[in-house]
A and B are shown apart, each in its own frame.
Chain A
Amino acid sequence: MRNTAALAVFLIGITCASAPAWTAGSNQVVKLRRLSEQEYRNSIADIFGKDILVQGMFEPQIRISGLVATSTAVLSVTPAGFESFSKMADSIAIQATDEAHRGRLVSCSPRSAKAPDDACAGEFFSHYGFMLFRRPLTADERQARVNLARAMTRSSGDFYGGLRYGLAQMLQSPNFLFRKELAIGGKALRLEPYSRAARLSYLIWDTTPDAELLHAADTGELNTAAGMDQQVDRLLASPRLEAGMRAFFTDMLELDTFDTVSKDSLIFPKWSAAMALSAREETLRGAIDLTLHQNGDLRDLMTTRKTFINRNLAAIYDVDFSFDGEWMPLEFSPDSGRSGIVTQVSMLSMFSHPGQSSPTKRGVALMDIFLCEPTPTPPANVDFSVINETNGPLKTVRERLMAHATTPTCASCHTHSDPIGLSLEGFDTIGGRRLMENGQRIDLSATLQGKTFLDGPGLGRYLHDNPKFPACMARKLYAYAKGIDTEEVDASAFRTAYQAFADSGYRMRTLIKGLVESPEFFDTPAAVKEASARQQALR
């Protein structure tokens, strides 16, 4: 463990870089990633403290090949988005320099509270510039803020007013809002150490690099295998790994879908916004507990009957809630029809219609999420009338779907994705269990890629035993970490890491460590591909 006093000295000692890599002309920015809302919030909380309020609208994100993280390397900032960033920046800067916080957040005292003090302002901007930009400021960058603060102090007659405007400027600077990953030229492009620190930190902790990691970048430690190993171990050993993996699971399991899920309150009055939040939290808690707290086999996510519920979820699962805290562990009974993540309220309700379940939506989503097998979009002229006719002779969703899926143009896709969804028909659109539909017993059997299984637990076992599932997880984590398109990840890029993952019995920490310590993780072949045609189209 590093001495915190030494770190403090290091942070204060940061002035500006002597020969900064990021100004050299021959290098290349290999990735430019806009901070996500959570990354922004976590970074502000870490740099300024949790009592600094961040209030405002963040620009919507999009999902590309199953990951929102990929879109951070594609999206820019719109005028409305910038206006919001600008207001948030000012609000954070006001708070950080107000009387309640300046004692803690401003390390030096000005000669006079009413006059400019370039030395103190310089110290302030060096420190926060370093933390916010995740690298030291150049002498010019530092001087520009000092000048701005001086002018602002003069106009307002308030030293801290000068700091406020200078800080607000940094908070809306592209250097903060975007993570610039810079590689040093040569035969292969090697990520420079500060970019490595940021990539590690946002992957593992979902936040900005801490002082120790930045220090390791500063000293060049991160360029050595031993130094890297030491830092990776430190990051993985911290409880903050949980935040990092929560962010990953949220993205990978598409839990942000809940923001737009709505249910028909006439048919399913039990559904509420609170239920959606509860369901999302259940899935995250369960995934974190199994993969990190228990250090379990990731594949068991598909079969475990253990979960965590609150009072809301207990009402859908129709079990007792203990009231011993907000959340309680629960092990479903063997005859509950529930085991694994695919039988949780979250997965069942997110991929359904407002008023009825949808085997197709569930099938398409789960194939993509867990097996990295996207289903092509349906043709534009598709006829859905059979499926939607609930008062006709076809009682169950399966019967109506089958009638529709026999159309030759539809059959190939439905054969691909529907079986998964049909095995989950024992759950309604809010994830409640049912055995009958319109008075008829529901058929829960399914055959997928030559394997036959029955109901949700059967689907879970199928996925558990399917090697494509852990491989898909490894692929997604790799794409998530680097901000690239899942479909464009070459299997060779994570082969070593995947082997270690499999050898360890599919332990999450092993996968992370294997990925970040594989040589490909920070190095890029010299000819960096331009953005794909798909990414171009999104712009």
Chain B
Amino acid sequence: MRLRNCLLASTLVVACAAALAQPAAAAPWTRGFVVREYGFAFRYGGRPGVAETAPAADCARGSATHFNDEAEMRTALSRQPWRSKQEIESIIAPPGIEKARLPTYVRFYVWGRAVSYRGWRKGIETYINPFAAHDPGQPQVVSKISDGFDLDGNPKTGGFTSTGGIRGIDNALYRAWGCDAPFRNPASGTLDLRENTQMQEGLYTVVIRISGNQDPMNDNDATVEIGYSPDKIVRDARANVAPDYSYRIVKGEQYTRLKARIRNGVVETEQVDRLHVPRIGWFPDQMGDADFHRGRLSLTVDTDGRAASGFVGGYRNWLDLLAENTFAQTGAEQGIRDHEDAVGLYYALKRNADGMPDPRTGRNTGISMAYRIKAVPAHVVDPARPAQIRRLPADEERNRGFETVKAAMIRAVTTRTIQDVPLGTGEGQFPAMEKTIADLPSRDFFLKTLDAPGRLDENGNVVEPSPKPGRLSALRARQGN
């Protein structure tokens, strides 16, 4: 009690801590947490229970509606001057589709192939080469309130104020992507739900350990560790994340140890050049290190230590973010299903990038952002034996495919030279569409007109370049999604 009063009353914290060094050293403590909710810190402006698409304080016109219907498709395809009106209409309503055995997939694949080639000329794969397509536009967040951090220590930049009244919050990713439908409302946004469901089902586990020497609610010399655990999240009989279970923390590439201060249960860490934490994802392909620059973490812990919530943030390379989102499946699949356009997301990132300037060009390669965290108490332990991140062989294969596509996209954008889509990867699915439309009466028209990542011979076999056999199973696994 005396300790707490002292800490609260005094601004001369150092002197105070020194005066009470004895009792503080006598009470080392540790609190662990396992993250039960993890996602982009996008502050939803609508009322709870209302769908993610509706207009609200954050997004004046609601969320993005790319490829939502035939009209949206017509708009998207009309941006390519090289497409004839007949071609556009045929894509939108493939002639004879009612005769195909799988009409819904025929349309899905035809649309998918069409939106994957929206360059300034024919033959440019859009998701690998987004710079070569017209900006379809992406609605931006108009709200002035945001979660996150004042990363640059300048209250005049960032343009957001936190709910706690802190000015200069830097969360440019929120401004850029906050109106993207699948991330807009944590309660119903598809990808937000999906990645949290997958995390709770065991795709990945994030753990946090806070330790100190004084009092868990007020400590000037605390340490925060955050990292990946190889142990699956345990859910209780009501399907919530169960508290008090043990989790190992792996001190690998997604591990960070930070100094922190705790005031009244609010844990604020130091800001560090590189902060490594697991990134969000809903497929094994996407999983990996978030790699924040100038990162920090803030967590509010309940008095009894039974709950914690907060944020971890910093600047991230915006091309990494684009790749992680676009190539979770394919750009087209993500687009048509979830109504987001990775080209629009690309330009939005480019416009809003606000950090990590390239020393040579001066262009910002990073964007300020944060993940929101909700956590329940857990025992976070050091592994007794070396522990590794759990990954199935099939996941490794998919992850390699993801990295190949990502590398191609980054090469394209940074060198501004058109890159081919690597075949046999998720993005380079081929000849999936060609097979799907085999019984479509207007098949020949599409085979002739639509661009393709590869070529088929007269027997329908892939000639050039042939997909690497190892990638095929990854491809097949993907088709079930």
A-side residues, CB < 8 A to B, are 265-266, 268-272, 311, 314-316, 318-324
Contacts and interface: CB of A to CB of B under 8 A. Distances in A.
Contacts of B246: 311, 314-315, 320-321, 323
A161 to B, nearest CB: 44
Interface stretch (B254-262, B268-276, B381-389): B381-389
B379 interface: yes
B238 A322 contact: no
Interface in B217-257: 231, 234, 236-238, 240, 242-246, 248
B384 A269 contact: no
A116 to B, nearest CB: 53
Main secondary structure of the interface of A (DSSP, over half): loop
12 contacts: A266-B238, A268-B237, A269-B237, A272-B237, A311-B231, A314-B244, A315-B234, A316-B244, A318-B244, A321-B246, A322-B381, A323-B385
B interface bracket (residues with beta carbon within 8 Å of A)? 10 to 19
Contacts of A316: 244
A271 B242 CA distance: 10
A314 B379 CA distance: 9
Given A321-B381, A323-B387, A314 B238 contact: no
Contacts of A318: 244, 379
A128 to B, nearest CB: 45
Interface in B162-213: none
A311 B387 CA distance: 16
A268 B379 CA distance: 19
B244 A315 contact: yes
B382 to A, nearest CB: 9
Given A314-B246, A315-B242, A315-B246, A322 B379 contact: no
A502 B231 CA distance: 47
Contacts of A319: 379
B316 to A, nearest CB: 31
A268 B381 CA distance: 25
Main secondary structure of the interface of B (DSSP, over half): loop
A270 B236 contact: yes
Interface of B: 231, 234, 236-238, 240, 242-246, 248, 379, 381, 383-385, 387
A270 B384 contact: no
A270 B234 CA distance: 10
Contacts of A272: 236-237
Contacts of A315: 234, 242-246, 379
Contacts of B381: 320-323
A382 B323 CA distance: 70
A269 B242 contact: yes
A447 B231 CA distance: 45
Contacts of B387: 323
A321 B379 contact: yes
A280 to B, nearest CB: 18
Given A311-B246, A314-B379, 13 more contacts: A266-B238, A269-B237, A269-B240, A272-B237, A311-B245, A314-B244, A314-B246, A315-B243, A315-B244, A318-B379, A320-B379, A320-B381, A324-B384
A322 B244 CA distance: 14
B385 A324 contact: yes
Nearest to B381: A320
Contacts of B240: 269
A269 B245 contact: no
Nearest to A328: B384
A314 B381 CA distance: 12
Given A319-B379, A323-B381, A265 B248 contact: no
A154 B309 CA distance: 77
B379 A270 contact: no
A129 B234 CA distance: 49
Contacts of A270: 236-237, 242-244
